[in-house]
Amino acid sequence: MPDWITIPGWLDLVDIALVASFGWLGIRYFRQTQVRPALFGVALMGLAYAFARLLDLRLSASLFQGFFAVLVLILVVVFQEDLRRFFEQLGSWGHRESRQPAEIKTLDVLVRAVARLAANRTGALIVLPGHEPLGRHVDGGVELAGRVSGPLLMSLFDTSSPGHDGAVILRGATVERFGAHLPLSAEFAADGSEGGTRHAAAKGLSERCDAICVVVSEERGSVSIARNGELRRLARPEDLAAELKLAYGGDTEKRHWWLGEVGLDAAIAITGALALWLAFIPGSDILEITRSVRVEVTNLPQDLEVEAVEPAEVNVTLRGLRRNIALAERDDLAIQVDAYLARLGRRTFTLSDSELRPANNVDVVDIAPEKVRLVLRPPAEPAP
C-alpha cells in the first residue's frame, strides 16, 4: 500500500459520518428548493475555491475567500426563507415519525370524495401535512378535530359553507382545520401554471414544506396535486389514488430506498465526505518518502546513442504535504540528464532536482547517487 494512503480510525469514521449526514441533508434540500440554479452556481464557486486551496493557488484562494465573506451576507438576505426551512428540517429530524396506519385507511375515503367534488365541479383544497411543521405557513381557519368522512368533506366545501374558499387540513384520520389560508406561490404566474387562487396556494405551501396539497378546480372539474414545489394536473380524478400511494411510500422504490434517489444522494454524500477527509485531514500532514526514479537522457548529440545508464534508477527522497505527495506518485516520474556536453567527451553527469518535477510544493530532499555515468556509442550502421 502506498505511504500516502491513510486508514481512518473510528473517530475519523464518526467525523466522516457527520459530514456525510450534513452533506446528504444539503443534497436533499438542493433537490427540493426552488433556487437550484443559484445554489448550483455557488457550489461551482466553492468547488473552484477548494481546488485553489488544494493546489495552493494563493492569489485565487485569496480572491475567493474575500468573495465568500460577502456572499454569506447576500445568501442570508436572498435565501432567508429557504434557509429557515432548512433549519426547520434539521430541528424536526429527531421528531419525525412514520405515517400512521389511520392515514393509509383514509386515502380511499379521500379519493372518493375528491372524485365526487370534481364531478360536481366543486372547488376544493385539501392539505396532507408531512413531517415538517405547518404552523407558520397557515393562517386562520376553524379548529374541527372531526373524523374524516365523505359527507364531512362534501359539506365543508359546499358553496354555502363559510369556509369553502379555504383549505381543509387532514392529519391522520382527522380533519384538523377547515377554512385555512395558505401562502401563495410567487412563481405561479411566471411559470405558466394554470388555475386560480387555490392552485397558487397549493403550490405556495408545497414550496415551503413537505405537505401534499390536492386541488379540485371548480371551472374545469379537474384534480391537481402539488408536492415539492411542483403542481401537476392529473388526467383523471382516479389517478389521485396512485399519486398518494407513491407519496406515502407504497411503491417498491420507497421500500428499497437504497435503489432510488435517496440511496444515490447518500452515496454521493459519503463519497464527498471521504474525499474531503482525505484531502484536508491526513492530506495536510507532512510526509517524507523515498522512491526509485528512472533516469532519462535528453539533448544527446546525433552522432551518439545510449548503450547504458549507470545506474538506470536513482533513489529520490520527496518531502511535502501528503496530498501533494499523492499527486507526485506517478508512473511516468523520471529525472532527466542533459547530455549536451557529451559531444565534448563528458560521460559523468551530476543530477539536479531542477530536472525532476514531481508536483507543486513537493521538495526534493536528496538524490542518491547524485551522479550517473553514461555509456555511449556511435549509432549502429544500417543493415545493407
Residues 46 and 109 in one domain: no
pLDDT at 252: 42
Structurally, the chain folds into a number of domains equal to 3
Q: Show the cell assigned to 349.
A: 553527469
* Of 3 and 86, more confident: 86
> Residues 223, 291: one domain?
no
In a domain, 383, yes or no: no
Q: Is 2 part of any domain?
A: no
Same domain, 127 and 220: yes
CATH number of the domain residue 290 falls in = 2.170.120.30
Comparing CA positions, the residue from 359, 374, 366, 361 lying closest to residue 295 is 374
Confidence of residue 277 (pLDDT cuts 50, 70, 90): confident
Strand order in the sheet with 174-180: 142-147, 174-180, 167-171, 124-128, 212-216, 223-227, 230-233
Cell readout for 240 is 389521485
Report if residue 148 sits inside a domain.
Answer: yes
Nearest-5° Cα angle at 326, 323 to 330? 150
Give me the torsion for CA of 296, 302, 304, 305, rounded to 10°. Answer: 40
pLDDT at 102 over 50: no
Average pLDDT score over residue span 238-263: 64
Assess whether pLDDT exceeds 50 at residue 251: no
Tell me, yes or no, whether 128 and 57 share the same domain: no
Average pLDDT over residues 239-250: 76
Please check whether residues 130 and 244 belong to one and the same domain.
Answer: yes
Q: Are 198 and 157 in contact (CB under 8 A)?
A: no
DSSP 214-230: EEE-TTT--EEEEETTE
Residue 379 has pLDDT above 60, yes or no: yes
Check whether 172 has a pLDDT greater than 90.
no
Query: Which one has a higher pLDDT value, 172 or 32?
Result: 172
Sort 85 into a burial class: Cβ within 10 Å, 0-12 / 13-18 / 19+. buried
Find out whether the peptide bond into 37 is cis, omega within 30 degrees of 0: no
Residues 6+ apart with CB under 8 A from 160: none
| Same domain for 333 and 362 | yes
The secondary element (H helix, E strand) that includes residue 124 is strand 124-128
Q: Binning pLDDT at 50, 70 and 90, where does residue 1 land?
A: very low
The model's confidence at residue 256, banded by pLDDT at 50, 70 and 90, is: very low
Q: Does residue 83 share a domain with residue 129?
A: no
Which tens digits make up the pLDDT trace of 310-357? 998 989 888 877 767 766 666 567 888 888 888 888 899 988 877 776
Residues 244 and 135 in one domain: yes
The answer to whether position 78 is within a domain reads yes
- Domain CATH code at residue 222: 3.40.1700.10
Residue-number span of the structural domain to which 182 is assigned:
101-248
Same domain, 35 and 153: no
pLDDT at 85: 64
The residue written with cell numbers 433549519 in the block is 87
Longest dimension (CA), the chain: 111
User: Do residue 37 and residue 124 come from a single domain?
Assistant: no
